[in-house]
Amino acid sequence: MAVTDHVDLNQFMEGVKKRNPHQPEFVQAVQEVAQDIFEFMEDKEEYHAQQILRRIAEPDRVVSFRVCWEDDAGNVRVQRGWRVQNNNAIGPYKGGIRFHSSVNESVLKFLAFEQTFKNALTGLPMGGGKGGSNFNPKGKSVREIMRFCQSFMTELYRHIGPDVDVPAGDIGVGGREIGYMFGQYKRITNHWNGVLTGKGLEYGGSLIRPEATGYGAVYFLENMFKTKDENLEGKTAVISGSGNVATHAAEKLVQLGGKVLTLSDSGGFIHDPDGIDQDKIDWVKKHKTYRRGRIEDYVTEYPNATFHEGKTPWGVPCDMALPCATQNELLGDDAKTLVKNGCRAVSEGANMPTDLEGVHIFKDAKILYAPGKASNAGGVSVSGLEMSQNSERRSWKEDELQQMLKDIMAGIHDRCTRYGDQGDGYIDYVKGANIAGFKKVADAMLAFGVV
């Protein structure tokens, strides 16, 4: 094949599927990006000739390892751990660590791929990575979690570093787990450096990091409504999840005058027609995070609410929806229901919560739809600011960080608009995010030659 010949989208995707058998989440993530990028690359021969998208869709490396630990009963347990280092063209690899029974190589490759675009969109110098384990923290004692985290880090430490790869938390990995991993890293290497983000404030963490993803998703929503000269005051919201992202998104929405109707977990969702106010959010945070409780207990505490076992909240009529639990939790039929019920905006707190069919439904309906790689980038942005603070050996104040987060989310919105504005009043945020993220990484890769 001559250098300037290039494959079309279908041939490209056939190749991705062939090279990544049994990895549906990864293929889905690449497909979603590739359709926009192929359109963008049509008259840009160099990206084709240098196989830039093909290279971004092939992780720099995937490290897979055994994690052994002993449970409280003295049994030896064996889990699998991974770190996917997708691309470090614009900065050290950066992305969370997920502990969940559903974790596998496909899920982590999709997340690391998405992270590459998301991190580029923030405007900060961070590459894309993701890691985790199929370890299920549910039902484990604190000591068991500590031993697992230590064992996980005993292998991971060789592959990370403040200028190499800087992991953070994700599902199942919060401040406590980061603390255990950071302690083990320090013990093994004898180095104190900003190798992880999401750390406690006492040892190098940043203010507003726990809040940043949820708050950022709401700031993005606010930016989208601004294009229609509207704000969030009095608008109703349906939120899924009841973890870090969901509860902080709820909190910011309430602060900005919105009314939150639902939260959920893997057992089902609660619907509170009175609205989930700050006191109720505080109760959920305590109940889910510290007591490791179930969302269904909410209805005992607040009897006006109802619990819907095994269901997702997308059937509840609302002005805005924020999927903040996990991937593929909002399917085509859910998207149809939301649109039919008058939902006008969707801001994804989770990564790839909407499946491809759902994305097309939102786009066809021309509602305000923000993909996670744009709307949930607040978390990694404040992680980037945590890295800067660690390098400078200083801590910024809360109001400074709040302002920086707001500015970063507005910057992401602008970048999406630049490439996603369709000229008829509709902004295709998916397209905008894909192209803006791709272009930055791609141009850096062009500068490096074939590496």
Question: Where in the sequence numbering do the catalytic residues fall?
Answer: 130
Does residue 381 bind ligand NDP (CB under 6 A)?
A: no
88 is a contact residue toward ligand NDP (CB under 6 A) = no
Asked whether position 171 contacts ligand NDP by CB under 6 A, the answer is yes
Nearest to ligand NDP of 51, 328 (CB atom): 328
**Residue-wise DSSP of 72-91:** TTS-EEEEEEEEEEEE-SSS
Options 87, 242, 389, 390; binder of ligand NDP; rule CB under 6 A: 242
Query: What residues pair up with 268 in beta bridges, in sequence order?
Result: 265, 309
Is the CA virtual torsion 275, 276, 280, 283 positive or negative? positive
State yes or no: residue 216 binds ligand NDP (CB under 6 A): no
Return the bridge partners of 80, or none.
66
170 lies in the site for ligand NDP, by CB under 6 A: yes
Contact 41, 53 (CB under 8 A): yes
- Answer for which of 91, 92, 132, 169 binds ligand NDP (CB under 6 A) is 169
Q: How far is the CB of 7 from ligand NDP (least distance, A)?
A: 31
For residue 176, what are its two tokens? 């406590």
The CB-of-115 to ligand NDP minimum distance in angstroms stands at 9
Locus of tokens 């897979």: 64
Cβ partners under 8 Å of residue 417, min gap 6 = 227, 427, 432
Nearer to ligand NDP by Cβ, of 241 and 437: the residue is 241
The rounded distance, in Å, linking the Cα atoms of 117 and 433 is: 8
Q: Pick out residues in 358-377 that bind ligand NDP (CB under 6 A).
A: 376
Candidates 241, 313, 371, 420: give the one binding ligand NDP (CB under 6 A). Answer: 241
- Using the minimum distance from each CB to ligand NDP, give the nearer residue, 162 or 293: 293
End-to-end CA distance of the chain: 21
Least distance from C-beta 10 to ligand NDP, angstroms?
29
> 249: which strand partners?
none
Shortest CB 426 distance to ligand NDP, Å = 26
Residues 318-357 close enough to bind ligand NDP by CB under 6 A:
324-326, 329, 349-351
Residues 196-216 as b or e (16 or more Cβ within 10 Å = b): bbbbeeeebbbbbbbbbbbbb
Question: In whole angstroms, what is the distance from residue 418 CA to residue 435 CA?
Answer: 9
From CA 306, how far away is CA 302, in angstroms rounded?
9
Q: Which stretch binds ligand NDP (CB under 6 A): 74-82, 181-189, 240-248, 331-339?
A: 240-248
Q: Choose the binding region for ligand NDP from 189-197, 250-258, 259-267, 277-285 (rule: CB under 6 A).
A: 259-267
The distance of closest approach from Cβ of residue 213 to ligand NDP in the complex, given in angstroms and rounded to an integer, is 4
Q: Which residues sit at the interface with ligand NDP, rule CB under 6 A?
A: 169-172, 213, 241-246, 265-267, 324-326, 329, 349-351, 376, 379
